[in-house]
Each structure stands twice: as C-alpha cells, then as structure tokens.
Amino acid sequence: MRGVFELAPPEAYFIGLGSVTGIYAHHGFLIHGEWHLYGPDLAIWHVVPLALLFTARAYYGGSDASWILYCLALASYSYFISLATSIVLYRAFFHPLTRERFPGPWYARVTKLWHCWAVRHSKNFLVLHEMHAKYGDFVRTGPSEITVFRPEVFMAIDGPRSKCVKADWYDLLHPDQALVTARNKAKWKYNARVSRNVDQLDKCIESDAESDAPTSVRDLAYFFCFDTMGDISFSKSFQMMQNQGWHLTIARLQRALSLLGPTSPAPWLFHIGFRIAPRVGVLRDWFEALAWCAEQMRDRLENKHSEQPAGDLTHYLMEKGGQVGNDDAEHWLTGDSLFSIVAGSAPASATLVCILFMLAKHPHHAETIYSELNIADITDPNALSQLVHLNAVINETMRLYPAALSSGARKTTECGVTIGKTFIPPETTILCPRYTISRSENIFKSLFIYFSSSLFDPRWLGMKFIPERWSTRLEMLRNSAAFTPFGTGHQSCLGRTVAIDMMRLAVAKLVKKYQFSLVPGNRVEEDMVDEFLMKPGNLSLKFNFRR
C-alpha cells in the first residue's frame, strides 16, 4: 500500500511545510515573552518577503520559475493561515484567562485591535466604564489582559508586596528611557519658581478682568503648568503666559500625545508606526518634540540657562540617577526631559482646569475657601496645606477627574497576583481604570447621600461633587483605597508634592482675588479625552475682582 505522502502532489509538501512552520513560530517563539518591541521587525520580515513573492510572481508569470514561485506562495499562505489559526485557537480556547473564565466580549480574547477601534475618539475611560457596567469587576479586555474595577487593585499591583511590573506600554519611549522607577520624592527647591509663575498667571487673568473679557482658562492653565515645569525642570520657561500663545514645540507635543488615545490599547502599533513612518504627520511631531526636549536638556547641562543655583529638576535627576558618564546617558536624558515635561505639566494642567471648573459650577465652595484664606498667607505652601476646605476641593476634583483616567497598566510576573479573592494568572496585563473605580459607590456611605442627593439612583451617587467627604463627612468615604490620583506605593507620582503645591498656590491666589463664573460654550466634560493622561475640553470663565 502506498503512503499518503507518496500520493500527495509536490505542492502538498510546501503546504505542509508552511503549516508546520506557522505552528512552530507560534508555539516555539511568539507565545513566549514579549514581542511588542519587535513589532516593526516582525511586520517587516513578514510583509516584505510576501510582497517580493507577489512581485516576482507577477513578473515571471509564464516562465519556468513560475512553478517554484507558486509553491513558495503556497508555503507562505499556509504559514500565515496556520500561524493565525494557531494564535486564534489558543487565545480563544486554551489561554489561562479562558480557562479561568473571565467575562468579557468574545473578540477581546483574540485581539486588542477591537480596543483601538473602540477608543478611536480617545474615550477609553468611557469605553471601560461601560465594560464595567456590562461585565462586572473583572473583565477580560485583551488576549492576556484583565481590567479590574476593584479598589484593592492599586495596592495589589503597586503595594509593597507586589511583584507586578509596568506593562509593555511603558516601552513607549524606547530606546529612550526615563527615571520612572525613581522612588524618592522630589526635594528640589521649586517654590520660588512656582510662585513667580502663579504671579504671571494672575497678571493674565487681571488683564482680562480689567477689560471685562472672559478668560480661556483651559489654554491658560496649560500655559501656566508648562511654563512652570519648564522653569523647574530646565530653568527655562516656555513663556507661553507672557506671549499669550502656544510654544511651537508644546503645540507639537500636544498633537503627538493625541496619538496615545487610540493606540494605547495595543502598544506595538505605535512601535510599528515609529519605525515605518517616523516622518509622517503626528509621528513627526512626536520625534521633533522629543528632539527638542533632548536639546533643552543638553543646553541645560551645558550651563546655558541663567538660574542654575536654585537647583532644578535636572539637577535632582542627575544626582539621583548618577547618569553622567554612563553609556546610556543620552537615552536617559532624552526620556527624562520629555517625561519631566509631559508627566508634570499635562496632569497638573488638566487637574487645575477641573478644579476651576468645579469651583465655578459650585461657587459656594469657592466662598468657603475664601473665608479660610482670610487667616492664611496665600504664598506659603505650608500654610495652605492646613486649609481643610481648599484641600477637600482639590481631592474631590481629583476623585471625579483623575488625571490618569484609565492608564497605568501593570503586568503580573511568574507568580501572578490575587486581587480580593480572584487570582490573575502570570504574564497578564492588568488595567485599573481610576475614572470608574473612584466614581464607584463603594467609596461612599450611601445612606447619607441617598437622602440628601437630588439623584436617587445610588449607582450615580459617585458622580456628585461633595468635597465634605474629605473634611467634615469622613463617613462618606467608605474605602480610601479607591482614591489614588497620584498612584500607589513605589510606582507613585514623583512630582506629587510639587503638583499639590502648584494647585494650592494657584487656586488660593485666584480665589482670594476674584469671583468667577462659567460663560456659555464650556465643554470640559463633553470633549474630555483620554490620551494616557486626561485632557479636558474647553473652559472659559469670567473673572471679577472681589470688592
């Protein structure tokens, strides 16, 4: 009897070879470890040979070489089909997260591309919020990703006993790096720099108030925070408040950051984009902003700026990082320069916009702060840190509008992690959307609000702005673990103290001098987007001098 292989036509060998190679590529390589940084190479190594094959077949159509090319094409198709089939079958039926039966949309088992499509308008915080309503506290949002909507998640992934690491998203700056693992809180002297920028902010508002014109608060808050961060990072302000306009590079940086909205769910996408089309559109903005930041850092290190003695963030980072003379110094400096501007300015600006929005919407809270300010020195951060209502308003705003709305992914290591009673298997990405968690009714004592609220559905009570939960109504805060606007533990915000001082000094100065109200056309919430960091929509306010 003749064997199957003897009967098979020669083409079958090529089909078999392609299929076996596809399965081997998946189970031998791709299933192990991380591949997002190799995304561009994988794309090139797969697409280029295929394109060459197509071209060659078209060119040698009727010749002797045609048959060989035909067989190679068969092998390639079989390779791709078997690779894709193997990946889909494994993820859908055999992956540990499938076996653990985490709920979620069926397509999320197979790919993250659905997520990129769902967040194409950069509204990830709302997409995840809906997922929570539909699927509960643990949702499978990707082939190896779980989104957790429990307050315990922050301590589990970033607390002292956690073995989780930052997820692959954080290779965004690759090959540049940033001191994101630094654990010491910033100790550089920044108060004088913050204060002079607060004065400049006040000058801008004063000129609008004098001419009875509304102030475009969103832009101004961004000018203020970027100018301040330029000052405290490189000893060089961007002078946007003075010039009343966006600095070209900061405008570029803002455009570049918009890339993070739709691509963050699948970080390999931006690595492919960076490699294949670095000079196109928004990607070009990204690289030019990065180059500019690196240049500022180099300038600063060459002592070109005048105010070195006060000690800026660069000085601090260099001391902490011990980077000088290190082979990787160039990459660290580029990453840190970008990071210090983005990580500092963007969340602080967004938070300041939201605080002023809340105060304009609820002016009685501004008046309570005003009465506190009567007995405090508004230029002294220590005195401001004692003001109960000022701090309650800042906290409550950050609860409702956390700057990192849905970002901050972590990855479990070989031991996995247990959150509550749920075990998350090894090598799983964990998302923990602050937007949803910090609006959860779990953090409230529902009864009080239930009777005092105009909204009678307890599910929506978390949305109410009630600063008193941080001051006189502490019982309304059921679980403080849910409130982590600056992150938790060893991965938390390096600039927390600076950020809070900036907020306190700016708000105190403005509330002390002005009463302010909303003018029509505000779209803070409606146009809010999630680009790793929150970016609120437009806010214009009318400022009037207090009498």
Q: For the CB of residue 499, give the shortest distance to ligand HEM in the complex, in Å.
A: 4
N-term to C-term CA, the chain: 106
Pair of tokens at residue 408 = 């901050």
Among 135-143, 342-350, 367-375, 448-456, the segment contacting ligand HEM (CB under 6 A): 342-350
Q: Are 167 and 112 in contact (CB under 8 A)?
A: no
Instruction: Give kind and range of the element (H or E) at residue 154.
Output: helix 152-158
Question: Can residue 167 be called a binding residue for ligand HEM (CB under 6 A)?
Answer: no
Three-state helix/strand/coil letters over 48-103: HHHHHHHHHHHHCCCCCHHHHHHHHHHHHHHHHHHHHHHHHHHHHHHCHHHHCCCC
Residue 525 sits at φ, ψ, to 5 deg, of -85, -40
Question: Can residue 348 be called a binding residue for ligand HEM (CB under 6 A)?
Answer: yes
Binding string, residues 398-427; x marks residues near ligand HEM by CB under 6 A:
-----xx---x-------------------
Among 251-259, 275-283, 341-349, 416-424, the segment contacting ligand HEM (CB under 6 A): 341-349
Q: For the CB of residue 432, give the shortest distance to ligand HEM in the complex, in Å.
A: 9
Give the residue with the Cβ less far from ligand HEM, 156 or 209: 156
State which of positions 384-403 bind ligand HEM (CB under 6 A).
403
Question: Can residue 522 be called a binding residue for ligand HEM (CB under 6 A)?
Answer: no
Question: Can residue 181 be called a binding residue for ligand HEM (CB under 6 A)?
Answer: yes
Q: For the CB of residue 317, give the shortest distance to ligand HEM in the complex, in Å.
A: 9
Question: Can residue 200 be called a binding residue for ligand HEM (CB under 6 A)?
Answer: no
d(CA 285, CA 287): 6
Among 20-28, 106-114, 137-145, 340-348, the segment contacting ligand HEM (CB under 6 A): 340-348
Q: For the CB of residue 376, give the shortest distance to ligand HEM in the complex, in Å.
A: 21
Sorted by sequence, the CB contacts under 8 Å of residue 465 that are 6+ apart come out as: 358, 361, 362, 396, 397, 400
Q: Are 325 and 368 in contact (CB under 8 A)?
A: no
Residue nearest to ligand HEM (CB): 495
Burial of 320 (0-12, 13-18, 19+ CB in 10 A): middle
Give the residue with the Cβ less far from ligand HEM, 177 or 368: 177
Question: Can residue 333 be called a binding residue for ligand HEM (CB under 6 A)?
Answer: no
- The amino acid that residue 216 corresponds to is S
Q: Are 194 and 230 in contact (CB under 8 A)?
A: no
493 annotated as ligand-binding: yes
Q: For the CB of residue 168, give the shortest distance to ligand HEM in the complex, in Å.
A: 13
Give the residue with the Cβ less far from ligand HEM, 449 or 507: 507
Pair of tokens at residue 139 = 């949702």
Diameter over CA atoms, the chain: 106
The three-class DSSP label of residue 416 is coil
State which of positions 476-515 bind ligand HEM (CB under 6 A).
485-487, 491, 493-495, 498-499
Other beta carbons within 10 Å of 59: 11
Q: For the CB of residue 356, give the shortest distance to ligand HEM in the complex, in Å.
A: 13
Question: Can residue 73 be called a binding residue for ligand HEM (CB under 6 A)?
Answer: no
- Give the residues lining the site for ligand HEM (CB under 6 A): 180-182, 343-344, 347-348, 351, 403-404, 408, 485-487, 491, 493-495, 498-499
Indicate the annotated binding residues for heme.
Answer: 493
Indicate the annotated binding residues.
Answer: 493
